[in-house]
Amino acid sequence: MPPGATPALPASTVGPVHIVGTGLLGTSIGIALRRLGVDVTLADASPLALAVAVELGAGRRAHVDDAGPHLIVVAVPPEVAGPVAAAQLDTHPNAIVTDVASVKAAVLDDLSAARADLTRYVGSHPMAGRERGGAAAAMADLFVGRPWVIANSGSSSPAALSAVRDLAVDLGATVVLMDADRHDAAVALVSHVPQVVASLVAARLVDATPGAVALSGQGLRDVTRIAASDPMLWAAILAGNAGPVATLLREVRDELDSTIAALDAAAEGDLGKGVAKLHDVIVRGNAGVSRIPGKHGGARADWDVVTVMVPDSPGELGRLFTEVGSAGVNLEDVDIEHAGGKPVGLTAISVLRGSGPALAATLAAAGWRILA
């Protein structure tokens, strides 16, 4: 079996599945379902986008003679997810309908306003994405290991909830159940507010001198990476979750005001209101970031980390990995530091707990500089 393949489990999802919108998410869902043998029909407002998705194996074009779909997946931009889902519920009175928009209360409100049949509707949000959008970036594995929120409205039938849960599980995602308001507050916190703040920090660079920008380091790169996101998509997401995002941004604004006041006090030499408050800002940030699961929220307890200095010469990084590979340890993660846009300097290699010392000794014997 080639790497990347999954042992074939029979799909729980019952077709035909009709996917409306063949962007990144819709096309990826289609490809994954087709691999599981599920019949998939596709529709998109753009004939070109539809043709690409068909070519990529995401399903076949919907046809007027098709049997009615069992499940409809609405994968259109968030600002039209509600109206499109309402139209699908209306057109296909026996189908279960889900949408995959990244905001959930606004979609539910639109459906309620349209007096749609909410027993057959389940809002969902697969939390997967790539920096590149569009069908060409699609892949069957997009959802593997990712959270897939099912936004329980309280009105959905058990059959509808089961169908959407089966879809998420078939695609390898981890189902998370929460209501629409809790979902929207959570994504405001972990996704939408970071997006706004990253964009505002990056915007400060627009009028900066080249000399200042040249001093940029990894910290600025990390903080502003997501500022490269798609403006049209993000305007729709932010508008669709405006209330929760504004609430959190007001909290950020209030903390920012007291930080500015602390800086002003520090400039006057006030250690109490000034420096102590600045200290507190960083301490609270420490406490918050430590709650994030994953590699930047603290090293995993079951990994050893070996830090190696990689010189700025051609081939050194490849040579390092070749030697790590032949050392016979299980490589769990790699984190490469960058300077001036080049990967040079410290490379942190994570291996299973207990394998670190042997790897460090092997690499040191081969002449690599291992850091404490």
**Looking only at residues 103 through 162 of this chain, which bind a second copy when binding is defined by CB under 8 A?**
127, 130, 136-137, 139, 141, 144-147, 149
**Which residues have CB under 8 Å from 90's CB, separation 6+?**
116
Total residues at the site for a second copy (CB under 8 A)? 148
Stretch that binds a second copy, among 41-49, 92-100, 150-158, 267-275 (CB under 8 A): 267-275
DSSP H helical segments within the chain, as ranges?
24-35, 47-55, 78-91, 105-113, 158-170, 180-187, 193-203, 210-213, 218-224, 231-240, 242-267, 277-289, 316-326, 356-365
Q: Would residue 176 be called left, alpha or beta, if left means φ above 0 and alpha means ψ between -120 and 50 degrees?
A: beta
Is the CB of 111 or the CB of 149 nearer to a second copy? Answer: 149
**Interaction mask 304-333, a second copy, x per CB under 8 A:** -----xxxxxxxxxxx-xx-xxx--xxxxx
Binders in 274-293 for a second copy, by CB under 8 A: 274-276, 278-293
Instruction: Tell me the closest approach of the beta carbon of residue 365 to a second copy, in angstroms.
Output: 10
Three-class HEC string of 190-245:
HHHHHHHHHHHHHHCCCCCCHHHHCCCCHHHHHHHHHHHCCHHHHHHHHHHCHHHH
Q: Which helix (H) or strand (E) holds 149?
A: strand 147-151
Stretch that binds a second copy, among 38-46, 63-71, 115-123, 252-260 (CB under 8 A): 252-260
Stretch that binds a second copy, among 29-37, 85-93, 157-165, 238-246 (CB under 8 A): 238-246
Among 37, 68, 243, 354, binds a second copy (CB under 8 A): 243
Is the CB of 90 or the CB of 264 nearer to a second copy? Answer: 264
User: Is residue 357 at the binding interface for a second copy, with CB under 8 A as the rule?
Assistant: no
Task: Judge residue 290's burial from the number of C-beta atoms within 10 Å of its C-beta, 0-12 exposed, 13-18 middle, 19 or more buried.
Answer: exposed
User: Is residue 340 at the binding interface for a second copy, with CB under 8 A as the rule?
Assistant: yes
Stretch that binds a second copy, among 15-23, 33-41, 152-160, 338-346 (CB under 8 A): 338-346
User: Is residue 301 at the binding interface for a second copy, with CB under 8 A as the rule?
Assistant: no
User: Is residue 354 at the binding interface for a second copy, with CB under 8 A as the rule?
Assistant: no
Q: What distance, in Å, lies between the first and last C-alpha atoms of the chain?
A: 40
User: Is residue 249 at the binding interface for a second copy, with CB under 8 A as the rule?
Assistant: yes
Is the CB of 14 or the CB of 370 nearer to a second copy? Answer: 370
SS3 35: helix
Stretch that binds a second copy, among 27-35, 85-93, 109-117, 295-303 (CB under 8 A): 295-303
Instruction: Report the interhelical angle of 242-267 vs 231-240 (nearest 10°).
Output: 100
How many other CB atoms are found less than 10 A from the CB of residue 47?
Answer: 9
Is the CB of 88 or the CB of 102 nearer to a second copy? Answer: 102
Instruction: Tell me the closest approach of the beta carbon of residue 320 to a second copy, in angstroms.
Output: 8
Instruction: Tell me the closest approach of the beta carbon of residue 234 to a second copy, in angstroms.
Output: 5
Strands 96-99, 121-126: parallel, antiparallel or unpaired by DSSP? Answer: parallel
Q: Would residue 41 be called left, alpha or beta, if left means φ above 0 and alpha means ψ between -120 and 50 degrees?
A: beta
Instruction: Tell me the closest approach of the beta carbon of residue 150 to a second copy, in angstroms.
Output: 13
Instruction: Tell me the closest approach of the beta carbon of residue 179 to a second copy, in angstroms.
Output: 11
Instruction: Report the interhelical angle of 78-91 vs 105-113 (nearest 10°).
Output: 40
Chain centroid, CA 260 distance in Å: 32
**Interaction mask 28-67, a second copy, x per CB under 8 A:** ----------------------------------------
Integer CA distances (angstroms), 369 to 128, 205, 208, 361, 372, in order: 38, 36, 38, 10, 10
Binders in 198-217 for a second copy, by CB under 8 A: 198-206, 208-209, 211-217
Integer CA distances (angstroms), 265 to 75, 158, 280, 289, in order: 51, 59, 14, 27
Instruction: Tell me the closest approach of the beta carbon of residue 191 to a second copy, in angstroms.
Output: 6
Instruction: Tell me the closest approach of the beta carbon of residue 92 to a second copy, in angstroms.
Output: 29
Instruction: Tell me the closest approach of the beta carbon of residue 127 to a second copy, in angstroms.
Output: 6
Note whether 302 and 350 are within 8 A (CB): no
